[in-house]
Structure 1
């Protein structure tokens, strides 16, 4: 693993594919809501946005035209690094998930294995992972390797050994912790995961639900970066709902400053991750 950077990359994941708008009225689902959220989050410390899009019915979609419109709008109205999810909803077919890359974001997620996801199964076959990795490199899209369990870090090493470095030449992983069926969201597990991260890689960590704060503290202490947002939690504190995504980003930014690793601006994040200017 590379030495700790002097600042913190804060990614906001504002929407996700799990929460229904009817249950979470303040969830940003329209393009206008998403752009307004992105601008608010950038203002308080976010430098990257992890995007799931919703259709006119507020349900998750991988519609390519909407994805392209979203990438364009976020680039025009923010400086954020735009990362699209290739996970979609757990029921989305592989061909639709691969087509996400045709929207040419700066970055995209690449989940490194199949995982039980609550009562569902999030399927990521080895051949599909390889195809994602290779197509991203062809298009100059920087992957973020999503790790739901420690064994998936062994799969990442295999991927890099057999198929080479990603676009941009830098390996960045996101440890997704606290998903029912995946690795727990605690400091002990995070430390164990770091032993298996490839040399020279950087990492972010995401704590789902009530693991948000323990994972955030552990990641900062270990020199890592942070992902927060309403995709991952809709509770700010015990008995208190999240007001908006900017509230979560502001808390993460405040903790990063306390750790003397203040939020990194988007330009420095592009250099860190090897984001191509041709896609931006």
Structure 2
């Protein structure tokens, strides 16, 4: 489904975002912050139906970091233990500088997030000025990293069109977006907002939707009914239901996979996700002498 038209896909791409950069380990002991915890989470989530893992990393102090060694070690460990598409966040935290965010690509993930515009983020501001967005996009093309365009508002969709018009198609040739909904300061987590955003997307694009907090289930149901894909995880919600904390990330993936089955669009395997997103198997490429 693209630009609000088209046939719904036969399977559902499920992305898990297990950690994020906002929640402290002290406030949520179940949050995976060490490398061992993250890898164990990824293994469990792949078994539950995830095909992509969206990764924020933490340092030894459990606080968010963009340390290049930690990033590279994380990518290598996830590749060794799972078949998941490894997508690194280039957003980091709202306090990370532009140079550090650009350097995320040096860890050679399969994919990266790429937010196309600035957005209020609760009491903070997530800064993505046009020169930075353009540079990040050009570098992703040069590095052979497939971007997922993170869209927090309708203005970000316009920015996406501008980016594609100015710099051409992403590496792999396919445009995939994630509609991030329900962030205080961004678009609301409603079916009406989702439909408006989807209708404005570039023709041929595929898309996932993320509902933050209480919007998790409404957004997931709206996305499946409109032919979209799903992102879930403890980065986006710590509640499974009223007064019921999330047990772990696999629980959220399991629920998403059940919803996908009910929609008669079962969870997509990682290999199928790579084909849809235009992502090469880097392990095979390296063994074959390619970049």
Residues 155-181 of structure 1, C-alpha deviation per residue, up to 9 Å, x if partnerless? 100110111000000000000000000
- 1:233 partnered with 2:237: yes
What number of residue pairs does the alignment pair up?
280
Q: CA RMSD in A?
A: 0.8
Q: 2:258 aligns with which of 254, 257, 279?
A: 254
Task: Tell me how far apart the structure 2 counterparts of residues 105 and 279 of structure 1 sit (CA, whole Å).
Answer: 11
Partner residue in 2 for 1:265:
269
In the TM superposition, what are the counterparts of 1:78-157 in structure 2 within 5 Å? 78-157=82-161
* Cα displacement (A) at 1:3: 3.2
- 1:26 partnered with 2:37: no
Residues 29-62 of structure 1, C-alpha deviation per residue, up to 9 Å, x if partnerless? 0000000000000001000000000000000000
Consecutive unaligned residues in structure 2, runs of 5 or more = 285-291
Q: What TM-score, normalized by structure 1, do the two folds share?
A: 0.99
Q: What TM-score, normalized by structure 2, do the two folds share?
A: 0.95
Partner residue in 2 for 1:61:
65
Task: Tell me how far apart the structure 2 counterparts of residues 3 and 162 of structure 1 sit (CA, whole Å).
Answer: 28
Task: Tell me how far apart the structure 2 counterparts of residues 132 and 199 of structure 1 sit (CA, whole Å).
Answer: 23
* Cα displacement (A) at 1:279: 6.3
- Where does structure 1 differ by over 3 angstroms across 4 or more consecutive aligned residues? none
Consecutive unaligned residues in structure 1, runs of 5 or more = none
1:141/1:276 contact within 8 Å kept = no
1:90/1:123 contact within 8 Å kept = yes
Secondary structure, aligned partner of 2:196:
helix
Task: Tell me how far apart the structure 1 counterparts of residues 202 and 277 of structure 2 sit (CA, whole Å).
Answer: 15
Secondary structure, aligned partner of 1:195:
helix
Q: 2:196 aligns with which of 192, 195, 213?
A: 192
* Cα displacement (A) at 1:277: 2.5
Residues 7-29 of structure 1, C-alpha deviation per residue, up to 9 Å, x if partnerless? 00000000000000000011000
* Cα displacement (A) at 1:80: 0.3
Q: 1:161 aligns with which of 151, 156, 165?
A: 165
Residues 173-193 of structure 1, C-alpha deviation per residue, up to 9 Å, x if partnerless? 000000000000010100011
2:110/2:282 contact within 8 Å kept = no
Secondary structure, aligned partner of 1:181:
coil
Task: Tell me how far apart the structure 1 counterparts of residues 283 and 124 of structure 2 sit (CA, whole Å).
Answer: 34
